[in-house]
Structure 1
Amino acid sequence: MQLESVLIVYTIAFVLLLPILFVKGFRKKLRKKLDYSIYYIKYVLGWIIGINGDIRMGKTSLMSGLSSLCQLIIINDIDDLLNKTMKIFKYIDFNVLNDQLKNYYETVIDEKIGYPDFEKITEMVLEIYQLDGDSIHYDMIGHKKIRKLILDYIFSYYCLEIRNNFVQSKTPFYSNITHQFNLKLNLEWLNIRDAFKEKDYAILDWMVILIDELTDEAGAMKYLEDPKDESGAKEYRRKLGQIHQERNRIISTKQDVMDEIKKFRNLTHSNLVIDERVSTLGNHMWIYHLIEFVCNIPILLLKLFVINPIFIWSKLTRKGLSWGDIYKYYHDKTGIIRKQESKLYYYKMFFQSIGYNRYQGYKLKRAEDIERVTADRDYFDLVIPTKYCWGTYNTHYYASMQEDLLNNSTTQTSEVNPFKKINFFIKDKVTEQEQNGVGEFEFN
């Protein structure tokens, strides 16, 4: 009898633990897929990534997800650089140096002096710690000047601890990595020769540059205006890795794939084509549904013992109250229904936020292969946390156009009168332009 009781207890414990073990194992599997996705982005995709696909396939959310993972890669690379520098200069107290740098950078920001002069700061550090900037550090493979090592350290420390922003975009993007909105981007800055002439350039190092199809003003036909690349747009893409010392990435989205090909030919390192709609994994909504069932019990009791009796009494006394009216009264007032619904809302948002987005498609080795059915394709299957993909950008970027159109309009709509007599022989005087919907207008 005692043995049977022990077996029953262990069986119940195993049944209760089984869902927990399932969830833990499944999330561990998703984490491995995320690690592979980071590896794939860092070592396979290259520095310039183009995302292509039909409308509502998940291009912009994938761009957001790739941006977030690229930010993690940048932060990890900066940490590696800082730690490597600390290993080289073992006699420097980096606690003291970091405090000095932080105080200096904060002074620069507070006094609005502008962008820090890193060359000047480097010379100050070399002088304080009596280092010869022109001496060579040999790491058994290559050579690098001490001045360059110190310059890289103080600049990377500034990017990580002070700037703490690794995205530039014309479209507003919120980073769930740094919890900040992006820095501004003018697409004209990518035309580096024009930017140099106009002294108008502000693309920083350690950055992910996002170019969304909504704001990409360099249309397919503009490449014809600059066949010799006098603006420097193609040159910038060709030399991106060297200009930014392999610290920057460009991610762009396009629905019209050939538009990108005509502009930059094979200057995009990876052309990703999404051929399946984005899906979600690992949010464990079955747990939410169990919680929902428990939370709805008080509401069910309210319906049985409060709303239903009132409804029956209303019918008997012929007051004419419907069940829906009675429920709406108790729903809209502060009480048990709203309290439980509020709980369920946040529970649901929590479970959705812990999920992962899955993106499937193929990567083309050459841009021209997009139109070739028999082209070699490397298929990808990327898994990225949902919070890195959704809720980071404005899904209705042009919504203000509706407000501008209505405010600018002098007409109003009204309900149709189906009984109004229609005169088929006398028509309103409407110009041919108005009939064809042709006219000039401006958006504010």
Structure 2
Amino acid sequence: MIPSLLIANRGEIARRIIRTARRLGIRTVAVYSEADAGMPFVLEADEAVAIGPANPALSYRNAEAILAAAKSSGAAAIHPGYGFLSENADFARTVEENGLIWIGPGAEAISAMGDKINARNLMAAAGVPVAAGTPEPVVSADAAVIAAAGIGYPVMVKAAAGGGGMGMGVAADEAALRTEFDKVRSFAERMFGDGSVLLERYFPRVRHVEVQILGLADGRVIALSERECSVQRRNQKLVEEAPSPAVGPELRERLLRAAATAGEAVGYRNAGTVECLLDPATGEFFFLEMNTRLQVEHPITELIHGIDLVEQQLRIASGLAPSFDPGSPEGHAIELRINAEDPKRFLPGPGKVATWVEPDGEGVRVDSGYAAGTTVTPFYDSLMAKLILFGADREEAIARARVAVSGFQIAGPKNNLPFFAELLANPEFLSGDYDTGIVARMR
């Protein structure tokens, strides 16, 4: 096992990684921006290194500063968490060229899956189902109109280099397509430095289901189980649950087989997620993208399998065999993303945390990045904590979620706890028969 680890991230995921590393006897190094001095993850690490100002481009996305911190602290490995540099193939490659261990898949796999068009084509060649779409970048609005005629309206317009639900638009006709094409291309150029655009078939009613995979040190790729991620606002996830209430044994077998095939097609190592769109009317599913990192929602998979995915990441990167038996999952888990945002319009609401009291009890887990006296700044993602509930079945997990939401006390920044209280009483959600439009219907 590696002796020391630098965590190139912040907030709840940095604390989450520190917790496992400490249990395994691994020395931890945190890096932090000026805005994060004094945050819990900085205080909990064995060593902390300042890497720059609040602007993430000058700190958490500053590869040179992070590598310098790794060298000065004597860290043997770098864990990127999620976001920031976690899916940056050049950074992963540079880490290894500097003699450090990268806790994640190889640069080749990150690069292959980072371009959505290339990823679609690779998956189609491997026999993984993909939705109808364009096999190469669409170069103009006129070309997009021609392509859409073959796909059929409505179509999804997507940034090829995008991720995390960013750089997407829906067009129901030619006029809307021309508008969305220009909008998405402009956004992609500005945010990703790559204006490439693709079109895909758009499903008006669809579920977002993903599968956790692990590429082991011996070359095998295993698929653990699926997660339901359909409670979203603006294509951003708010709630995840595992297993999915929409997936039965036969569909689960097909999903897991396709996810393992996807990983094998790119020689995947370490933790990753294969995201799919599921048509609830037909049971068809289609490859959406592969996230070449640890997902925000990984705890619900941990709970139903009784494993520590961060530990498995560290073991794989160390060349060790997994420390668990990938048997059938048991129970049901739900994750609620507690964000600093208005619960009605979901607009960011940063501020100083005056009160922070986390719920506890049987089946309750809180992965948090904040505490009383800290400040949610506008520089980073609004995620403050993840409230994770486990029960023997879905009904028990939901019942525990209701109690935990009512007991989570936050004062200062705006937060979306009132939204979760509303969702957990919503008949559509309670039925399990919901799709990605559920939040819009609640508003």
* TM-score, structure 2 normalization: 0.24
Question: Which one has the bigger strand percentage?
Answer: 2
With CA pairs under 8 Å and 6+ residues apart, which has the higher RCO, 1 or 2?
1
* TM-score, structure 1 normalization: 0.24
Q: Which has the larger radius of gyration?
A: 1
Question: Which one has the bigger helix percentage?
Answer: 1
